[in-house]
Chain A
Amino acid sequence: MNEAAQLHFGRYTHDVELARRIETRLPGDQDWACVAMFYAAMHLMTAYFITKSNVTLDPSSAVHPERKKAMDRCPELKDSRDKYRQLKDLSESVRYDAGFAFGSHHLVQAKAHLARIAAIVEPKLKKRLGMV
């Protein structure tokens, strides 16, 4: 169980670094840094859910409502739910809305959302994985 959580945590750190690389090396494609940030958040959440005995979620599931239900079963993540949702919405606009005009303020928003999610979830996950 923890091995799977570790794998998702590893993907989370990878995606955080990917977002940083996109932001610094591909300044014209910073919208995709938001997409990497969303997937970072998704893997961090998934890693946490795997460690929770009261949550049943297929970690390979791509169905977002299932992940949302899992989030609803974790009251300790309450303050991260709306940030996750905002990051997901922004990421979807980047991926699917061809007319969406991405601005630097969106990147600021995305970074703030991920930072908040990480501040809430990462310490809890690390504790459950015995990383602290």
Chain B
Amino acid sequence: MLGWGREPEMQKSTRAKPRSVRPARSSKEGANGALHEQALRRRLSSVDAVRAVFLAADDEGIIHVYSVVPEYDSGFYDELLKQERLVEKEFPHLTFEFHVRAHQGREPARAVPFGSQPLFVR
């Protein structure tokens, strides 16, 4: 069935230890982490609704980016997708899959896959 079996959460369940969020073809390292991580932090934190961002890498080398918001709402998507596209353009050699999760009053880490690495929480 299309779409089944490739989600990072499913793969994680069979792993004893979370994978590094650094892909095989990472961007250069800067003082505050890999350049793509700095760009993600800078761009996604500019979206008011985004309270936290977490990263996880899967076996295909895809960087999964989880933006955590209070609740699903169409209002922030325009700006968020614009910022995500800018990151993709800046790092065309990397493959990102962007996600939005709703914390609904929980700690942001509760809304993302276990083992995801926090990029920022506010």
Contacts and interface: CB of A to CB of B under 8 A. Distances in A.
Given A43-B2, A62-B6, A82-B77, A99 B100 contact: no
B62 A96 contact: no
Contacts of A81: 81
Contact of A62 (B4, B95, B98, B101): B4
Given A62-B3, A89-B72, 19 more contacts: A60-B2, A61-B2, A62-B6, A65-B62, A65-B96, A65-B97, A81-B81, A86-B77, A89-B99, A92-B7, A92-B99, A92-B101, A93-B101, A93-B111, A96-B113, A99-B110, A100-B102, A100-B104, A101-B104
Interface string B1-44: 01111110100000000000000000000000000000000000
Interface SS of chain A:
helix
A131 interface: no
A62 B59 CA distance: 14
A64 interface: yes
A73 interface: no
A5 B10 CA distance: 28
Interface residues of B, number: 27
Contact of A63 (B6, B74, B78): B6
